[in-house]
Amino acid sequence: MPPNYPKDLHFDITIKRLQSARARAQMYMDIILDKEVEESIVETAKSIARYFGRSQRFQDSIKWVRTGFLKGYVELDYFGPDGEPLGIYFEKGTKDHGPVTAKFLHWKDEHGKHIYAKWVRGIVSLRIMEDAARLGIPALKTRLIIKTNQRMQDARLL
């Protein structure tokens, strides 16, 4: 320490550093959480989606959304052109569905085109998000603890 600094300046800096340790640790933990969730859960979900032959648009709709300190969720933000929640349909599946009161229903749309409703097979549940969470969360917890402890030791806070 240069000789013209007051003797207690070193202690003041140390005290301020210790007082800010919690905020710095929380900031670091959020940064690590973002990175680790992307690597362990989001990438796992995208890999499972590729395996099932889902489109690139479907894969790109899988995102980590942080909502606060160590809080957030991985969402499947995949919708059809008219706002239909296709992500939920692929994740949870749908039952076979069609007209209820008649064998066939018929109507004309606003352009006069004839529309015929019929029974269609449901969508098989893929459970991409559920599987990604099941596979990724245990590893995520372990990696967060290890990286946070390493950071705290490197910063001489432990």
For 72-77, what is the mean pLDDT?
95
Residues 25-46 pLDDT 10s? 788 888 889 999 999 999 999 9
Mean pLDDT of the chain: 85
The three-state DSSP-derived secondary structure of the chain is: CCCCCCCCHHHHHHHHHHHCHHHHHHHHHHHHHHHHHHHHHHHHHHHHHHHCCCCHHHHHCEEEEEEECCEEEEEECCCCCCCCCHHHHHHHCCCCECCCCCCCEEEECCCCCEEEECCECCCCCCCHHHHHHHHHHHHHHHHHHHHHHHHHHHCCCC
Distance from C-alpha of 55 to C-alpha of 61, rounded to nearest angstrom:
10
Cα gap 46→148, rounded to integer Å: 26
Which position has the higher pLDDT, 150 or 65?
65
Record the pTM.
Answer: 0.71
Judged on CB neighbours under 10 Å (0-12, 13-18, 19+), 124 is: exposed
Q: How far apart are CA 36 and CA 147, in angstroms?
A: 10
What per-residue confidence (pLDDT) applies to 61?
A: 97
Whether the CB-CB separation of 114 and 15 falls below 8 Å is answered with: no
